[in-house]
């Protein structure tokens, strides 16, 4: 199958690479313009008030509404990714020594290490790291208040929530630099059966991905070809070849990089296996054999259903 550039509006050639792990801020609040839906927990009161800020003028003030114990400010944060790690952090301070400790936490998850806040302003850092078990969680900031006489305030400012994004695969589009695409698949009769040949996809890139000039393509990387967003070929880079033809009229040369991608037939065919112990049952169906071989396969395999209905094919 040969695909030329006029058909490229339907074709995508993509190389899989790994996006590095990084941190992404998903929430931040300095209370300069609003209280931003922070509310009070049990027997607590919260208010956005000037004074005690880490930066700017305004901060969140958290107090006990009555008695001694834990004063809580809280806010529900949505849009989280289940299973990923987050850290909520901010700065705390206190108005009196009766605010003995403070920490951040997440309802239903836990709290971070307590800190002893500085006096008069939110300058003491505090944080808590948790793993999201839902798409929304209630974040809390808590203070231990040891006296019910007088006003005892926890100052809170510059709260941020950071998502720790792990390394993850991404697909880079190679079509803008591609000149042509050739996909070859087939097989030949071998005795009573048919031997499947290795499928190959070959394409050329113009003035891009030169391995001699900081190109990032490398043998073993996964490449897929899609037609109208449906995969029609998937494999790994088997060979890269660069050439630099000279235009004698202009004295300039262009870079052509030919990329050859081999499908999973090459991987399966080159995987060495050394016998098998079937135990007492010396008979093995085709489905059972494929299921056994899949356990040591180095490429994905769609395992047929063991004991499934027989499908007969005819020419």
Q: Where are the domains of the chain?
A: 2-18+170-270, 22-165, 273-315
Distances (CA, A) of 258 to 12, 29, 219: 17, 51, 12
**Non-local CB neighbours of 147 within 8 Å, separated by 6+ positions:** 68, 96, 98
Query: Where is 290: in which H helix or E strand?
Result: helix 286-294
Residue matched to tokens 């987050």: 86
Q: What are the structure tokens assigned to 283, written together? A: 């008979």
Q: Is residue 312 pLDDT above 60, yes or no? A: no
Predicted TM-score of the model (pTM): 0.67
Pick 22-165's CATH classification: 3.30.70.60, 3.40.640.10, 2.60.120.260, 2.60.40.1930.
2.60.120.260
Q: Let me know: does 257 contact 214? Beta carbons within 8 Å.
A: no
CA dist 90 and 87 (Å) reads 10
Residue matched to tokens 């085709």: 286
Distances (CA, A) of 276 to 29, 74, 281, 284, 293: 62, 60, 12, 11, 10
> What CATH topology corresponds to 2-18+170-270?
Elongation Factor Tu (Ef-tu); domain 3 (2.40.30)
159-217: pLDDT as tens digits: 999 999 999 889 998 888 888 889 987 766 666 666 667 789 999 999 999 988 889 99
233-282: pLDDT as tens digits: 888 899 999 999 988 888 888 999 999 998 876 666 666 666 666 666 66
Q: What are the structure tokens assigned to 103, written together? A: 């920490």
* Matching fold, domains 2-18+170-270 and 22-165: no
CA dist 86 and 112 (Å) reads 12
């Amino acid at each position: 199958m040969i695909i030329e550039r006029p058909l490229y509006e339907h074709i995508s050639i993509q190389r899989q690479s790994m996006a590095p792990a990084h941190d992404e801020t998903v929430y931040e609040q300095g209370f300069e313009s609003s209280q931003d839906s922070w509310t009070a927990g049990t027997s607590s009161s919260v208010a956005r008030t000037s004074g005690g800020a880490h930066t700017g003028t305004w901060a969140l003030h958290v107090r006990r509404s009555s008695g001694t114990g834990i004063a809580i400010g809280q806010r529900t944060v949505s849009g989280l990714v289940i299973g990923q790690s987050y850290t909520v952090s901010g700065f705390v301070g206190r108005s009196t020594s009766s605010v003995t400790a403070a920490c951040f936490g997440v309802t239903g998850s836990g709290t971070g290490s307590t800190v002893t806040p500085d006096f008069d302003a939110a300058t003491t850092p505090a944080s808590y790291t948790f793993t999201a078990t839902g798409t929304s969680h209630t974040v809390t900031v808590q203070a231990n208040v040891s006296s019910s006489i007088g006003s005892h305030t926890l100052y809170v400012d510059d709260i941020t929530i950071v998502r720790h994004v792990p390394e993850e695969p991404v697909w880079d589009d190679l079509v803008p630099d591609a000149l042509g695409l050739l996909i070859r698949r087939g097989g030949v009769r071998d005795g009573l059966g048919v031997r499947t040949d290795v499928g190959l996809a070959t394409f050329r890139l113009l003035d891009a991905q030169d391995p001699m000039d900081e190109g990032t393509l490398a043998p073993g990387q996964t490449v897929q070809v899609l037609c109208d967003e449906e995969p029609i070929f998937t494999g790994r880079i088997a060979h890269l070849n660069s050439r630099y033809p000279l235009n004698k009229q202009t004295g300039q040369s262009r870079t052509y990089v030919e990329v050859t991608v081999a499908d999973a037939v090459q991987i399966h065919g080159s995987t060495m296996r050394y016998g098998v112990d079937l135990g007492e049952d010396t008979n093995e169906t085709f489905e059972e054999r494929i299921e056994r071989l899949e356990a040591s396969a180095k490429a994905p395999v769609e395992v047929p259903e063991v004991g499934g209905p027989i499908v007969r094919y005819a020419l």
